[in-house]
Amino acid sequence: MHIETLKIFCDLVDLQSFSLAAERNFVTQSAVSQQIRSLEEKFKRRLLERVRGRREIKMTPAGEVFYRESRNVLSAYDGLNESLRGIVGTIGGTVKVATVYSVGLHEMPAKVGEFMSKYPSARIDLEYSRTTKVVRDVLNGSVELGVLAFPEPRRGLTVVQMPSHRLVLICPPDHKLAKRSQVRAADLDGLEFVLFERDTPTRKATDRILKERGVTVKKVAEFDNIETIKRAVQVGFGLAIVPQPAVTDEVRSGQLAVVKLAEKEWTRPVGVIYRSDRDLSLAAKKFVQLLENEN
């Protein structure tokens, strides 16, 4: 039995998908199935069962024990590699990071590039997910770090704050507000808006700030993806409130106008999360330190 087999088993449980587990480990789906069968044959126990009528992959009691102990073995193996790299002073290995689109697409590339230039033996494996999945993947150990907007304290997680950014109003360049240097929340009352979906942290913050000031906007559409929101504003669906770093390119090209929101509450905190009960790899520690810094 190889260490790769234990990793495939854990990835299958975490991802709940044979195809995704195969993709993560650069093997075929049939190879994943064969690895699971070989484990069950070796230990003479059924480890997994498919839930009839659903795509869920459920662990048997034996599977739960095997998953827990396999995680311990994989963690120890990672620690072994890390210790050996430390002997020769090399920072290497792969840091698995999950992040939301609004942060990952516009703020992470420069940081990843800086990290790779400093530590060429290390690699950042970046995944994009919704906030709830980022948290879940960090907790279940399928990724080492999560990067979120509006990170909330939670038992079992450590939160390291990154530099915050302003939320801004975006509109087409020919909109009546486009030439304003700034607007107050009251100026938005009754206007048409393209919004994030209700369960996203930025939407929750926007709703709260507007409600506190007695402002009601007209929802034209809502999306879970910041790129779709920007395109909708460009073609005239309505206005939107987004993180300033996410619209740098559109402002430079003249596709969108950005207007400052006057109230101090219009900020978006960003943070790195990781499991409190696990020691970060040396590469992950260095990446977190880099993310903490403004420059």
The CATH number for 218's domain is 3.40.190.290
CB 55 within 8 A of CB 19: no
18 or 92, which is more confident: 18
Do 170 and 258 have their domain in common? yes
What is the Cα–Cα distance from 112 to 290, expressed in whole angstroms?
A: 9
Of the chain, the percentage scoring pLDDT greater than 70 comes to 94
Residue 232 lies in a domain: yes
pTM over 0.75: no
The domain of 234 spans 166-267
Tell me the per-residue pLDDT of 269-288, one tens digit each, with 9 for 90 and over.
999 999 998 888 888 999 99
The residues, ordered by sequence, that sit 6+ positions from 235 with a Cβ below 8 Å of its Cβ are none
Residue 155 lies in a domain: no
Place of tokens 């003479």: 44
pLDDT band with cut points at 50, 70 and 90 for residue 172: very high
Please count the structural domains in the chain: 2
Whole-number pLDDT of residue 66: 93
Q: What's CA 48's distance to the chain center, in Å?
A: 28
CATH of the domain at 70: 1.10.10.10
Residue 14 lies in a domain: yes
pLDDT band with cut points at 50, 70 and 90 for residue 17: confident
